[in-house]
Amino acid sequence: MNLLPELEGDVPIRSSGERFLEKFRARVNAGLLSGRPESRSNYTIGAASPGRLEILAADWATATNVGLNRIELQQLEAGVIRYHVTYWRWARFALALSGALGLVGVVMLVAFDARAYIARHPESMMPGLSVAQNFAVAWLMVAFWGFIWPWLLISMHKRPLHRLVTHLITEVDRDQRSSV
C-alpha cells in the first residue's frame, strides 16, 4: 500500500493530443470541476509545453476541496494522455487536522486522569472490559484517529481521484469531439 499522496494513470482519447490539451486549458480557465467558475474550484495553468500541461490549485479552499493540488497531463503517444496527480496540500491538511485532534486526545487522557474517570463512572466502560482495558482502548482510539487514520485516508483517496481525473479527461475529450 503506497501511502504517498500521488497517483498516475493513462486515459485513451480520440482527439489529437495538442487539441485536447488546448481544450483542457480552456476547461481549467472556465472552471475545472464543473465547467464554470466556483470558489472551491480555482485552478491555474502552471508550466505548459507542447504535449504537456500542468494544472495547479490556486488557493487553500481549492487545494482542500477534492485534493487535485497538482495535475500534470502529458501526451506520450497518439491517443493516450498520461496524468500524474499530487495532493500534498490536501494530505497536509488531513494530517494536521487529525494530528491536532490526536494531541487534544493525548492531553485529555493525561491531564484529566482518564483512568480514574473510567473507574468512577462504570457506565462509561465497555461491557466486559476492566478499567485498564478500557483505558487502553481509549489510548488506541486516540492513536488511531489522530495519527494512523490520516495515512489510511491519504491512501484511500487515490481511487476517487483516479475516477475524477479520468472523468475530467473523458469529458473534455468528448466535448472536444462534439465541437469539431
Residue 1, in any domain of the structure: no
Could you tell me the pLDDT band of residue 179, with boundaries at 50, 70 and 90?
low
Going by pLDDT thresholds of 50, 70 and 90, the confidence category of residue 176 is low
Strand ranges in 13-156 using DSSP code E only, listed in sequence order: 43-49, 52-57, 70-77, 80-86
Q: What is the pLDDT of residue 38?
A: 85
* Whether 72 and 109 share a structural domain: no
Q: Is residue 168 a part of any domain in this protein? A: yes
Note whether 82 and 162 are same-domain residues: yes
Asked if residue 35 belongs to a domain, the reply is yes
Summarize the confidence of residues 29-39 as an average pLDDT.
87
User: Residue 85's beta-bridge partner residues?
Assistant: 7, 71
Helix (H, G, I), strand (E, B) or coil at 138: helix
Nearest alpha carbon to residue 84 among 58, 62, 52, 45: 52
Mean pLDDT to the nearest integer, 133-143: 96
User: How confident is the model at residue 35, as a pLDDT?
Assistant: 82
pLDDT band at 171 (very low <50, low <70, confident <90, very high): very high
Total of domains in the chain: 2
Q: Output the pLDDT for position 1.
A: 67
For residues 43 and 69, what is the distance between their CA atoms, to the nearest angstrom?
A: 9
- Tell me if 55 sits within 8 A of 28, measured CB to CB: yes
Regarding whether 137 and 58 lie in a shared domain, the answer is no
Could you tell me the pLDDT band of residue 39, with boundaries at 50, 70 and 90?
confident
Task: Tell me, yes or no, whether 167 lies in a domain.
Answer: yes
Q: Residue 69 maps to which CATH number? A: 3.30.310
Residues 100, 34: Cα–Cα separation, whole Å = 33
79 and 115 share a domain? no
The pTM (predicted TM-score) of the whole model is 0.86
124 pLDDT higher than 90 = no
In a shared domain, residues 81 and 166: yes
pLDDT in tens, 52-89: 999 999 999 999 999 999 999 999 888 999 999 999 99
Same domain, 13 and 54: yes
Q: Do 103 and 49 share a structural domain?
A: no
**Structural domain range at position 37:** 6-87+158-178
**All cell numbers assigned to 129:** 472490559
Mean of the per-residue pLDDT values for the chain? 93
Looking at the fold, whether 167 and 83 belong to one and the same domain comes out as yes
What number is the average pLDDT over the span 4-30? 94
Give the residue-averaged pLDDT of 12-34: 93
| Phi and psi at residue 52, to the nearest 5° | -150, 140
For residue 67, is it left (φ>0), alpha (ψ between -120 and 50) or beta? Answer: left
Residue 97 confidence (pLDDT) above 60 = yes
Cβ of 86: how many Cβ atoms within 10 Å? Answer: 18
